[in-house]
Amino acid sequence: MGGLVLIAVGGNALIRAGQKGTAQEQFQNAVDTAGVVVRLIDAGYRVVLTHGNGPQVGAALVRSELAAAHAYRMPLDCCVASTQGEIGYVLQYALWQALQAEGLRTPVVSLVTQVLVDKNDPAFARPTKPIGPFYTKDEANRYRDLFNWDIVEDSSRGFRRVVASPEPRGIVELEAIRACVDRGLVVIAGGGGGVPVFNDHDITKGVEAVIDKDHTSAILASQLGADFFAIDTDEEMVCLDYRRPSQRKLPLLTVEECRRYIAEGQFPEGSMGPKIRAAMVFLGRGGGEAVITDSEHLMDAVAGRGGTHIIR
């Protein structure tokens, strides 16, 4: 056994269904992810972790608005960067403790990661990604006028800000990440899909957008030459006819089957769709094997005994 595994930690890993998302809950939940990583390291693997940050960014934006009369507002790009540090610390702490408990001295590091996007990406003309809290109509109109936000209405819950979700084009800190991996460190990087940046030499403002974390993870995995790209979700396997009486687990998928099932609507947005496409990106860039599974079965999946394996 051995090789490099990049694990894209799912959004449910630190804040689970029914939880408030307190710091204590997140520390406790990080123990499960740390346990999987320790088992992989003990088996001779090198590990890179990426992670989502949706709930944490939402909370950061709420705190920014509530404290606006007393402290400066945090733009979205700064909130993404700060949650990379916040979540990186939680995972890093859990890993440090778990590694010590097993007598392993593998160093762990978290890196704030910038991801290059194209300012001409069509996504900037059609913002669709909801972020932050829901607002009343009057609040939404005020923010639209004050900050030039794009606002959409949710018929049952109010109004919400939407931002662009451009495609990731490159990872600015790639060489730093690679250097850490080559030295044997566990690296936590690419949090929340990365902080989006333009390479236009304008340092007066950041890019307020959201990048799909699984897409960024796929690019990072391919550029690092990972042997396995493991997407950690809340299901043991990918399923057809999900949550229907005819639901069927899929232990193996080819890229062509993925394309067909996406066209049939089997893997919708906001669910399995982005994960399937990320696996296809990894394989399309020459990656070896992609696996989609939950934390409980991740170790077995890497060993070929569980999860959904996606191959060329």
Which sequence positions are flagged as catalytic?
Answer: 11-12, 129, 213, 275
Distance CA 54, CA 62 (A): 12
Distance CA 175, CA 181 (A): 10
Distance CA 206, CA 18 (A): 34
Distance CA 118, CA 133 (A): 27
Strand partners, 152: 160
β-strands 186-188, 45-51 pairing: parallel
- What three-state secondary structure class fits 100? helix
Q: Which two tokens stand for residue 87?
A: 């979540």
> Going by C-beta distance under 8 Å and a sequence separation of 6 or more, which residues neighbour residue 77?
195, 196, 197, 206, 207, 208, 209
> Going by C-beta distance under 8 Å and a sequence separation of 6 or more, which residues neighbour residue 150?
127, 144, 161, 162, 163
Distance CA 219, CA 213 (A): 10
Strand partners, 8: 50, 231
Strand partners, 153: 159
Burial, 145: exposed, middle or buried (Cβ in 10 Å; 0-12, 13-18, 19+)? exposed
- Tell me the C-alpha to C-alpha distance, in Å, between residue 192 and each of 9, 34, 231: 10, 19, 14
Distance CA 276, CA 215 (A): 10
Strand partners, 161: 131, 151
Q: Are 214 and 278 in contact (CB under 8 A)?
A: yes
